[in-house]
Amino acid sequence: MGAIVLFDSWPTVMGGFLIVNGDGATTEHEVRKVQILDDDLYVLHVERGGLEFLPGDCVALFDGAGESRPYSIASGNGEDTLRFLIRKLEEGEVSSWLMARQPGDRVRVSPPFGWFRPGQDIGDAPFVFVATGTGVAPFLSYHHSFAARPPQQILYGIRQRCYAIGFDEIAGWCPVRLAISREATEAHHEGRVTDLLEGVPVDPETHFYLCGHESMIREATDWLQARGVDLLNIHREVFFHE
């Protein structure tokens, strides 16, 4: 995952990246492990250290030179470990530095921030999660925090089946439909995740939480609005780089 930008409100953003002041109230957290999933995809586990957050929150992670990038928290708010799903970008200094960490190393972390609140503050209204790539992170955080109230379903778009982070755990929690764009498969839809919207019942009371690539967010928003879903019921967080 690279930079995050919220469509609806956000602090200072330059060139697609949140600018975080390295002199702020950051804390150091010990690395517990780096779980390598592929050449450019990994899960960073660090000690929580008492950090308070809600599902949907992000933190800025800093490299050794003081550069930072924001990452969404994927762990539940009752766990003692912070997990981050990270895509190593080709020229990503921070994502490359984080990938090279070893257990016992320390990483500087900003206070949590954000406005994306999947499944929260909507009473008993039904809701649906739609994600691409590492955009599933806040939904995994929700799952580990509020397991008793699952979404109606999760639509999850990935390039290949091996990129479906957390699929096995959420598939046993609620209906999950995968869309795989770069790999032929009989078990799952071959194509874009927005193709799966056609099978989602559209109800005026339903809330939709979209997280992932900008093109998916825009396409899904247009599709939902064209079918009468109020923009207030479409909650969006964009990862410019998956």
Per-state percent for the chain, helix, strand, coil, to nearest 5: 20, 30, 45
The pLDDT of residue 240 is: 57
Same domain, 147 and 234: yes
Measured in degrees and rounded to the nearest 5, phi and psi for residue 49 equal 65, 30
Cβ atoms within 10 Å of 96's Cβ, excluding its own: 15
What is the DSSP pairing of strand 27-38 with strand 17-18?
A: unpaired
Report the CATH number that the domain containing residue 174 is assigned in CATH.
3.40.50.80
- Say if residues 136 and 179 touch (Cβ distance below 8 Å): no
Is residue 119 in some structural domain?
A: no
The pLDDT of residue 188 is: 86
- The three-class DSSP label of residue 38 is strand
The residue out of 75, 109, 143 marking a domain boundary is 109
Q: What is the 3-state secondary structure (H, E, C) of 107-147?
A: EEECCCECCCCCCCCCCCCCEEEEEEHHHHHHHHHHHHHCC
Same domain, 162 and 227: yes
Number of domains in the chain: 2
Is residue 118 in some structural domain?
A: no
Is residue 100 in some structural domain?
A: yes
Is residue 114 in some structural domain?
A: no
Instruction: Find the domain containing 81 and state its range.
Output: 4-109
Same domain, 94 and 165: no
Tell me how far apart the alpha carbons of residues 9 and 1 are, in angstroms, rounded to a whole number: 20
Same domain, 99 and 134: no
Tell me how far apart the alpha carbons of residues 65 and 97 are, in angstroms, rounded to a whole number: 10
User: Looking only at Cα atoms, what is the longest distance across the chain?
Assistant: 51
Tell me how far apart the alpha carbons of residues 99 and 87 are, in angstroms, rounded to a whole number: 9
Same domain, 136 and 99: no
The pLDDT of residue 217 is: 96
Is residue 53 in some structural domain?
A: yes
Same domain, 131 and 103: no
| CB environment 184-204: b (16+ within 10 A), e (fewer) | eeeebbeebbbebbeebeeee
Tell me how far apart the alpha carbons of residues 194 and 132 are, in angstroms, rounded to a whole number: 10
Q: What is the 3-state secondary structure (H, E, C) of 57-86?
A: CEEEEECCCCCEEEEECCCCCCCCEEEEEE
Query: Which among 124, 118, 167 has a CA at the least distance from the CA of 146?
Result: 118
The residue out of 67, 83, 109 marking a domain boundary is 109
Query: How confident is the chain (242 residues) per 10-residue block, as mean pLDDT?
Result: 40 39 76 94 96 96 95 97 94 94 98 95 96 96 97 93 88 93 78 91 94 95 96 90 42
Same domain, 26 and 84: yes
Same domain, 17 and 68: yes
Sign of CA dihedral 235, 133, 152, 199: positive
Is residue 115 in some structural domain?
A: no
Radius of gyration from C-alpha coordinates of the chain: 17
Same domain, 156 and 52: no
Is residue 122 in some structural domain?
A: no
The pLDDT of residue 189 is: 85
Report the CATH number that the domain containing residue 47 is assigned in CATH.
2.40.30.10
Same domain, 165 and 67: no
Is residue 32 in some structural domain?
A: yes
Cβ-in-10-Å burial (0-12, 13-18, 19+) of 27 comes to middle
Same domain, 81 and 154: no
Same domain, 8 and 55: yes
Q: Is pTM beyond 0.85 here?
A: yes
The pLDDT of residue 190 is: 85
The residue out of 53, 77, 109 marking a domain boundary is 109
